[in-house]
Structure 1
Amino acid sequence: MTGRVVSLRIRRSFLVGLSLATMLSGCDMAPRYNPTKLKLPAQWEGQEHGVLQSARPADDAIRPDWWTMLGDPELNRLEEQAMRLNADIQAQAEAFMQARDMAMEAKSHLYPQVSGAAGGEKYKGSRHRLWRGAGSQGPVYMSSEQYSGTASWEPDFWSAIRNKVRMAKQGTQAAAAAYALARLSLQAELASDYVALRGLDAQDAVYRDSIRYYQTAVQVTKMRLAGAIAPGMDVSRAETQLYTTQAQETEVHTQRDVMEHAIAVLVNQAPASFHIAPVQHLAFADVQPPVALPSTLLERRPDIAEAERRMAQANRAIGVSRAAFYPHITFNAMTGFMDNGFDLASLSNSMYQFGVQALLPLFQGGLRRAELQRNWSQYRQQEDLYRSTVLDAFQEVEDNLTRTTRLKTEAGQQSNAVDAALHTQTMTMALYTGGLTNYLDVVVAQVAALNARIALVQVQTRAVNARVELIRALGGGWSRADLPQSDKIMPFQPLQYGHLRHAAPLAGISTQGDPAAADLTSGDANVSHPLDRSGAHR
C-alpha cells in the first residue's frame, strides 16, 4: 500500500506541475497590438478637375495584369516574359522562402529536442607504468561502448518562443509584401521603359519626316542659287537645318538603343540578342485607371503592408524582452547503456539522468532593461516609418493624378500648336518659293514646326507614363488579402523529411525556376527588326 500511495503522490505532483506549466505558458508578455490609426482625406485633390472618377466598391478596380489596359500586345508579351524570368524577382522569391524557413526554425524550439549518441573506445596502458608493481595482474587493455539518448524541452512559460514565432511569421508576411512590391516595381519599370522607347520611335518618325522636307528645301535653295535669284546664304541655312536635324535623329537612335538594352535586361535577355521593331506613332489606348477612395490605399499598397508588418514584428519583440525578466526553465533527460563490451541485455549497465534547471539573472548592469527600452524605441521607429510610407504613397498618387490631368490638357494645347506651326511652315516655304520672303523666315518656321512636333510626342509619352505611374502608386491591382495566411506559412511539417529542395508555392510565390531563365541569348521576347540596323531605321 505504501508504494501505491507514493505512486499516487508522484502522479498528483506531475499533474499539478503540468497544469501549472500549461497556465504559465499562456502568459503573453507582448503589449496589445493596436496599429496606428491615421486620419485620411475623404477624396483625392487631383480628382477635382473631373477627369478621373472614383471606383465604386463593386468595381474590379485595377486588374493584376494592369498593363493590358494600354492595349499593346508587344508590351503584354514582354511583361509576361519578365514575370517568369527576371532574376531580381526570382531572388526576391528566394528571400520569401528563407523567411518561411526562419519561421520554421523559430517554431522548432516549441518541441522537445531529442538526440542520440553512440561511441566506443579502447585503451591500452603501459605494463611498466608508475605504481604498477612487478608481477601485477591488473588489466592493461580496457574497452568501453556506450549508447544513449538525450531530450531537452523548454516550456514556453512567458511566450518568449511563441512571440519569436509570431515575429518570424510577420517577417514572412513582410517578405511577401516586399516580393509584391518588387513585382509591381518591375512591371511599372518595364512599362515605363517600353512607353519611353515607343516615344523615341515616334520622335524618330518626326525627325525622318522633317529630314525629307529639309532635303527638298536644300534642293530648292540650290535651284534658286543656280538661277541667280537667291544668295548662297540660303543654301547654307538650309544645309545647317538639315544637318542639325540629322544629328538630333542620331541622338534619338542612341537613346533608343540604351532603352532597348534596359528592356532586354528586365526580360532576362542579353542586349546583343534582343531587338524590338520600331513603330511610327504612339498607339496606346487612352484608358484612365479607376481610382479608389484614399481610405482603401492602405489595403492596396504592398509597401504600406510591409511597413505595417514590420511594426507588428517590433511589437512582439517587446514581449520577448519582457520575458527575459522571468526565470528561464529547461527540462532535460538522458538514458542509455555503457559497458566494456557489447552487452546491452544487462540492466545493470543502464544509466540515466534527468533534471530541471531554472535560470534567473539577478544583476546584469541594466542589460535586460536596455534591451526592453531599445525594443520600445524600435517599435516607435517602425510606427514613424509606417506613417512616412503612407504619406509618401499619398504624395505619389496625388502627383500622378495631377500629371495625368494636366498632361492631357497640355497634349491638346500642344496639338493646336503643331497645327499652327505646320501651317506657318507651309505658307512660309510657299512665299519663299515665290520670292516674297527671305529664307531666314523659312528656317524660323521650320525650327518652330519641328520643336512643336517633338514637344507633342514628348507630352503624349509623359501622359502615358503618368498613367503607368498612377497605377503603380495605386498598388497595381495588389490587395492585402494576397498576403499569406499566418497558419499556412510553415514550409513543411515537423516530421517531413522529403521534398525539401523547394517548398510548395504560397500566396502565388514559387521558387521553382523556369529552365528558360538560363538562356540569355534568345527567348519569347526576342523580336527582330524588319529593317537592317544599318538601314532606314538608322
Structure 2
Amino acid sequence: MNLRRCLLFLLLVLSGGCALHQPQPIAPPLEEVPPSYGGMPDQEQIEPALAPWWRAFADPTLDALLSQALVANTDWRQALARLEQAEAVARAARAPLLPTLDLQGQGRREKSPGIFGEHTGTSSNLSLAAGYEIDLWQKIAGRARAADLDRQAAGGDAQALLLTLSARVADFYYLAAEQRSQLELIDAGIATFADTLELVENRYREGLVPALDVHQARLALDAARARRPQHEAGLAQAEHALAVLLGRYPGDLPAGPLILLPEVPRAFPAGLPSTLLTRRPDVQAALLRVQAADARLGAAIAERFPALNLLAGYGYAENSFAIGDISGTFWNLILNAAQPLFDGGRRRAEVERHEALFRERLAAYHGTVLGAFQEVEDALAANRADEERIVRLETQTATTAATLRLSLERYLAGLSDYLPVLSAQGNHFNSQSQLVSARRQLISDRITLARALGGQWMAGELDAQLSATDHRGSQLP
C-alpha cells in the first residue's frame, strides 16, 4: 500500500470513528420527588436566598471569623490541594488526544574487524519522532471525560466542605456565646443566693428562723458556685475548637467583643424539594462520579476493539567510514494496527469491574439524595420542636419567677418555712438555664437547616479563592 492509499485509509478511519458506549441516563432513586417538606404550607416554600446563609444573623464578628476560616482552615487547604490534583489528572488524561513529539539524537563511534582490516567508523543522527493514537472507539476521549468529571466532583466536594466549615464555625461561635450567657446567669444566680443567705442569717440572728434555714441557704449558694467550672471548661473548649477551625493554635483566638447569645433569627425558607438536588454540592458531586464511572465503562469496552497508532519520524543522519562519509535526511510513516485476540479474559473482567463500579456509584448517588432529603426533614422537625420548646420554657420561666416571688414574700412574712423558697429558687434558676440552652439549640437547628438546604454561594466563593488566594505553600500562622 503506497503513501497515498495509507493517507486515504486514515481519512476514512478518522471520519468513521464512533463510540461503542452511549452515556446512560441517571435518575434520582424515586420517580417522583415529594411536593413539599413535612406538610409545610406553600407560602413557606419560597426559595432560599442566594447570599451566604450566616448573613441572616447580622453579626460582624461572625462574618470576620468565617472570612478567616475560609482562608486558613487546614481542611479547606487540603480540599484545594485535592482539587489541584484532580485538575492535573484531568490535564494528563486529555494529553493523549494530541500527538506526541520527541526530539531524539544518537552518536556512536565503533571499531570492528573486517576482511580488509580493522574498521573504525563514526555515526550520528538527529530526528523528530511523532506518535498519535487514533481514538477510533472514543477510548481516550472517555478517559478524559471521566477525569474531567472527577475534577468537577472534586470541586463539588470543596463546595460541600465550605458549607460544612461555615456551619461548624458558627456552631462553635454560638456555643461559646451560650457558655458566656450561662456564666452570666450563674453569676447573677450566685449574687441572688448570696443576698438570700445574708437575709436568712439576719433573720437567724434575730431568732426568727432556725439554723437549718441558714445551712440550706448556704447549700444553695455552694451549688450555684459549683456550676461555674463546668461552663468555664465548656467555654474554653468551644474557643479552642473555634481557633483550630481558623487555622490557629488553641488559645490563639483573635481578640473581639465578647458575644452573648443573640436573638434567634427566623427560620430559613426551605424552598421546593425539587430544587434541593441542584443546591446540594455533595449530591452534584455524587452524580458526577456516576457519570465518570459510566465514561470509564465506555473506555473499558473500547479496549476490546482494534487500536490504531500512527508513527512518524524525520531526521538527519551522518556516517563516517574509512572509504568516505554518508549523510542525508530520512523519514518514515508507520500505521500500526492491533486487535486483541486472547488476553486470558483480562479486558472482559475490566468491563465487568467497571459495570459493577457504575452500579456502586449509582447506589451511592441514590443514598446521597435520600440522605439529603432526610437531613432537611430532620432539621425542619428539630426547628419546629425547639421553637415550641422555647415557648413552653418561657412560660415556665415566668411561672417559676412568680412562684419565687410569692414564696419569698410568704417566708419573710413568717407564713411558711424556707423550703418552698429554696425549691422555687432552684426551679427558677434551672428554667432560666434551660431556656438559654434551648435558644442556643434553636440557633444550631437554624445552622443545620442552612447546611442541609445547600445553596449557590459556595461556587462563587470557591472561584474567588482560587483566583485571588495563593494557597500553594501556605503555612500555619
Which position in structure 1 is the counterpart of 2:23?
Answer: 32
1:137-156 correspondence to structure 2 within 5 Å: 138-139=118-119, 142-156=121-135
> SS of the residue aligned with 2:340?
coil
How far apart are residue 457 of structure 1 and its match? 0.7
CA contact (8 A) 1:69 1:285 kept: no
1:78 aligns with 2:65: yes
Question: Deviation string for 1:470-490 (max 9, x for gaps)?
Answer: 1111104458xx599xxxxxx
Letter in 1 for 2:100: Q
Give distance in 2, aligned partners of 1:511 and 1:360. Answer: 50
Residue 36 of structure 1 aligns with an amino acid whose one-letter code is: A
**Counterpart-to-counterpart distance in 2, 1:173 and 1:465:** 31
- Separation (CA, whole Å) in 2 of partners of 1:269 and 1:370: 49
Match of 1:116 among 103, 106, 125: 103
Identity %: 27
The answer for the alignment partner of 2:92 in structure 1 is 105
- What is the correspondence of 1:414-425 to structure 2 with a 5 Å cutoff? 414-425=393-404
Secondary structure at the counterpart of residue 55 of structure 1: coil
Maintained 8 Å contact 1:333/1:353: yes
Aligned match of 2:146: 167
Residue number among 8, 11, 17 corresponding to 1:19 in the alignment: 11
For 1:366, which of 345, 360, 365 is the aligned residue?
A: 345
What is residue 67 of structure 1 aligned with on the other side?
Answer: 54
Task: Tell me by how many angstroms 1:187 deviates.
Answer: 0.6
Matched, 1:94 2:81: yes
Structure 2 gaps, min length 5: none
The superposition leaves residues 90-112 of structure 1 with CA deviations (integer Å, 9 ceiling, x where unpaired) of: 22122212212211111110111
Distance 1:88 1:341 in 2: 64
Q: Which deviates more, 427-436 or 171-180?
A: 427-436
The change in CA–CA distance for 1:277 and 1:93 in structure 2 (over 3 A counts) is closer
The TM-score with structure 2 as length reference comes to 0.91
2:425 is aligned to 446
Deviations 1:43-72 (A, max 9, x none): 111525x8x71116xxxx323321010121
Listed as ranges, the matches of 1:220-231 within 5 Å are 220-231=199-210
**Structure 2 CA distance for aligned equivalents of residues 394 and 194 of structure 1:** 27
1:413 maps onto 2:385 in alignment = no
1:276-425 equivalences in 2 (<5 Å): 279=258, 281-284=260-263, 286-340=265-319, 348-425=327-404
- Relative to structure 2, which stretch is displaced further, 220-229 or 98-107? 220-229
Task: List per-residue Cα deviations over 1:296-333 (Å, max 9, x = no partner).
Answer: 00111001100100110111111111101111221212
Aligned match for 2:469, one of 496, 512, 516: 512
Distance 1:420 1:91 in 2: 52
For residue 84 of structure 1, report the CA deviation from its aligned partner. 2.4
8 A Cα contact 1:200 1:252, kept in partner: yes
Offset, 1:155: 0.3
Q: C-alpha distance in 1, partners of 2:420/2:473?
A: 59
**Which residue of structure 2 aligns with residue 245 of structure 1?**
224
In 2, Cα distance between equivalents of 1:218 and 1:358: 99
Cα distance in 1, alignment partners of residues 169 and 453 from structure 2: 17
Taking a change above 3 Å as real, the CA distance of residues 243 and 143 of structure 1, as seen in their structure-2 partners, is: farther
Contact in 2 for aligned 1:268/1:517 (Cα 8 Å): no
Please name the residue that 1:258 is paired with. 237
Output the CA distance in 2 between the equivalents of 1:515 and 1:103.
Answer: 19
How far apart, CA to CA, are the structure 1 residues paired with 2:382 and 2:142?
46
Which residue is 1:54 aligned to? 45
Query: 2: distance between equivalents of 1:284 and 1:436?
Result: 40
Residue 40 of structure 1 contacts residue 294 of structure 1 at CA under 8 Å; is this kept in 2?
Answer: yes
TM-score (norm 1): 0.81
CA drift of 1:338 comes to 3.6
In 1, Cα distance between equivalents of 2:326 and 2:452:
73
3-state secondary structure, aligned to 1:146: strand
CA contact (8 A) 1:314 1:375 kept: yes
Tell me if structure 2 keeps the 8 A contact 1:261–1:271: yes
Structure 2 partner of 1:497: none
Partner SS state of residue 67, structure 1: helix
Q: Does 2:36 align with 1:43?
A: yes
Question: 2:435 and 2:65 mapped to 1: Cα distance?
Answer: 26
Tell me by how many angstroms 1:160 deviates.
Answer: 0.2
Tell me whether 213-222 or 31-40 shows the greater mean CA deviation.
Answer: 31-40
Offset, 1:293: 0.4
User: 1:417 is aligned with what amino acid?
Assistant: Q
Q: 1:436 to 1:360 in 2, by over 3 A?
A: same
* Per-residue deviation, 1:439: 2.1
* RMSD of aligned alpha carbons: 2.9
What is aligned with 2:246?
267
Q: CA deviation at 1:219?
A: 1.4
Does the CA contact (< 8 Å) of 2:318 and 2:326 recur in 1?
Answer: no
* Partner amino acid, structure 2, of 1:23: S
The 2-side partners of 1:432 and 1:317 are apart by 82
Q: How far apart are 1:509 and its partner, in Å?
A: 3.4
1:341, 1:201 → 2: CA distance?
91
Partner of 2:136: 157
How many residues were matched structurally? Answer: 473
Name whichever structure is richer in helix by fraction.
2
Helix, strand or coil: the match of 1:154?
strand
Deviation at 1:18?
2.8
Distance 2:201 2:428 in 1: 22
Structure 1 residue ranges without an equivalent (≥5): 1-5, 126-130, 485-504, 521-538
1:206 to 185, 193, 203: 185
